[in-house]
């Protein structure tokens, strides 16, 4: 779906149009640098006027993002990026609103706003930097930290069950969910482009490495020797194949997903599930979002992209309808409506 309410750029834009003059103050080796570079690459491709991009964030390492992109930007307060972005988009639907947030900002303090923006399906593109740790406050566990992890506030290991953001998003009736890793710029750019094309709230979870406080937290998924076996790149309309030789696949058996190998035990490509990111029923999307190694590969790419009306469009429609049908056209009309009387 193309969004026609946002004005397109009359000139060809480049990455340089979106580079800000501010010094980027993330640690060397932080995944943030790669995400920033992907955003600067994808914005010109999306093609909107540069003045129509608006970047909003909360608090945390991720949330310094607006200062590093040359767009209109708003650095909010902890957990509230989703609420601020909602106001920005509802007030001005002609803006392409992007939200940078983290696992602390959106899964903990801002959890409430996060589920409600998704439920409402406001047309905002959320980049959720998931490094499974509180970085800016120097190393406390977050709601996505794996159980048992030793951190500054869990010296004996965490005793909390972590969130899988994808489950939370689909549970909140999310219409778009994609996953990428900070070490794969091509994939990040692809899913961000898809997120921009999607009408409604789109969440891109980016598995990000924090070199200082949770180094290699995603190594099971991203390390060179494991990534082919532990990741599957979903593509719409294509069979769910993965592995170095693309011989492994996902099939449904007894209502569960399992990994099978083509050519073993009579398995053919016919047995492998075909990815349909657009299907309305979130059942299979949820199963895909929940896949975790070592038994199942982690799903990358666009897992769900279903079409539903957006909140911001419906706001405009209601206003248009009211303007056309109400007798009250201005404040004088309102002040003089209903029971009034003259005193001579």
Partner 1 sequence: MTGKKKKQIIEKEDVVVKFVGDSGDGMQLTGTLFSDNAAIAGNDLATFPDYPAEIRAPHNTIAGVSGFQVHIGTNKIHTSGDLCDVLVAMNPASLKSNLKWAKIGATIIVDYDSFDDKAIEKAGYKTNPMDDGSLERYNVIKAPVSSMTKESIKELTTDVKTAEKSRNMFALGIIFYIFNRSFDQTFKALDQKFKKNPLISEINKTVIKAGYSYADHVEALESTYTIPRAKLEKGKYRNITGNVATAWGLLAAAEKSGRPLFLGSYPITPATEILMELAKHKSLGAKVFQAEDEIAGICSAIGASFTGSFACTTTSGPGLSLKSEAIGLAVITELPLVIVNVQRGGPSTGLPTKSEQSDLYQALFGRNGEAPVIVIAASSSANCFYYAFEAGKLAMEHMTPVILLTDGYLGNGSQLFRIPKMADLPKINPPIAQPNDPDFKPYRRDPETLVRKWALPGTEGLRHRIGGLEKENIFGTVSTDPQNHQIMTDLREAKVQKVADFIPKQELTGEDSGDLLVVSWGGTEGAVLSAVEVLQKEGKKVSHAHFHYIMPLPKNTNEIFGKFKKIIVCELNSGQFVNYLRMKQPDFKYSQFNKVQGLPFVVSELTEAFNKILEEK
Which residues of the chain form contacts with partner 1 (CB under 8 A)? 20, 22, 49-52, 54-57, 59, 66-67, 70-77, 80, 82-92, 94-95, 112-113, 116, 315, 318-319, 321-323, 325-326, 328-332, 334-336, 338-344
Give CA–CA dist 140/18, Å, rounded: 33
Tell me whether strands 231-233 and 241-242 are parallel, antiparallel or unpaired: unpaired
**Residue 310: CB minimum distance to partner 1, A:** 14
**Residue 217: CB minimum distance to partner 1, A:** 27
Torsion of CA 325, 329, 335, 338, to 10 degrees: -20
Tell me whether strands 176-181 and 298-305 are parallel, antiparallel or unpaired: antiparallel
Of 161 and 329, the one with the shorter C-beta distance to partner 1 is 329
Bridge-partner residues for 124, per DSSP? 97
Of 76 and 282, the one with the shorter C-beta distance to partner 1 is 76
Give CA–CA dist 223/181, Å, rounded: 11
Of 43 and 141, the one with the shorter C-beta distance to partner 1 is 43
**Residue 47: CB minimum distance to partner 1, A:** 16
Give CA–CA dist 12/9, Å, rounded: 7
On the CB side of 77, CA atoms within 13 Å amount to 0
**Residue 113: CB minimum distance to partner 1, A:** 5
Of 225 and 332, the one with the shorter C-beta distance to partner 1 is 332
Q: Of the candidates 192, 214, 189, which has an alpha carbon nearest to the alpha carbon of residue 204? A: 192
Of 42 and 84, the one with the shorter C-beta distance to partner 1 is 84
C-alpha 299 chain-centroid distance? 14
Look-up: residue for tokens 């779906």?
1
Of 116 and 235, the one with the shorter C-beta distance to partner 1 is 116
**Residue 336: CB minimum distance to partner 1, A:** 6
3-class secondary-structure state, position 202: strand
**Residue 69: CB minimum distance to partner 1, A:** 9
């Amino acid at each position: 779906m193309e969004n026609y309410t946002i004005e397109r750029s009359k000139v060809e834009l480049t990455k340089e149009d979106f580079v800000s003059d501010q010094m980027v103050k993330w640690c060397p080796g932080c995944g943030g640098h790669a995400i920033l570079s992907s955003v600067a690459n994808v914005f010109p491709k999306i093609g909107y006027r540069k003045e129509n991009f608006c970047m909003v964030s909360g608090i945390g390492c991720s949330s310094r993002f607006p200062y590093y992109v040359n767009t209109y930007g708003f650095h909010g307060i902890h957990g509230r990026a989703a609420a601020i972005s909602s106001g920005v988009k509802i007030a001005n639907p002609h803006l392409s609103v992007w939200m940078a947030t983290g696992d602390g900002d959106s899964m903990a303090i801002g959890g409430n706003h996060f589920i409600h923006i998704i439920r409402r399906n406001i047309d905002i593109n959320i980049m959720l930097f998931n490094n499974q740790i509180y970085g800016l406050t120097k190393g406390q566990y977050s709601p996505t930290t794996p159980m048992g992890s030793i951190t500054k506030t869990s010296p004996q290991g965490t005793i909390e069950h972590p969130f899988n953001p994808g489950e939370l998003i689909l549970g909140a009736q999310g219409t778009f969910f994609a996953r990428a890793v900070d070490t794969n710029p091509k994939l990040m750019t692809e899913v961000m482009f898809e997120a921009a094309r999607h009408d409604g709230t789109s969440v891109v979870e980016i598995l990000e490495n924090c070199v200082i406080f949770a180094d290699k937290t995603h190594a099971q998924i991203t390390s060179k020797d494991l990534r082919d076996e532990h990741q599957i790149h979903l593509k719409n309309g294509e069979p769910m194949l993965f592995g170095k030789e693309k011989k492994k696949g996902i099939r449904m058996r007894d209502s569960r997903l399992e990994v099978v190998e083509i050519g073993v035990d009579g398995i053919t490509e016919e047995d492998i599930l075909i990815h349909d990111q657009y299907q309305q029923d979130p059942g299979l999307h949820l199963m895909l979002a929940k896949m975790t190694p070592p038994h199942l590969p982690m799903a990358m790419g666009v897992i769900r992209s279903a079409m539903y009306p957006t909140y911001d469009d419906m706001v405009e429609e209601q206003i248009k309808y009211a303007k056309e049908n109400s007798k009250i056209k201005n404040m004088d009309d309102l002040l003089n409506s209903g029971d009034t009387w003259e005193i001579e």
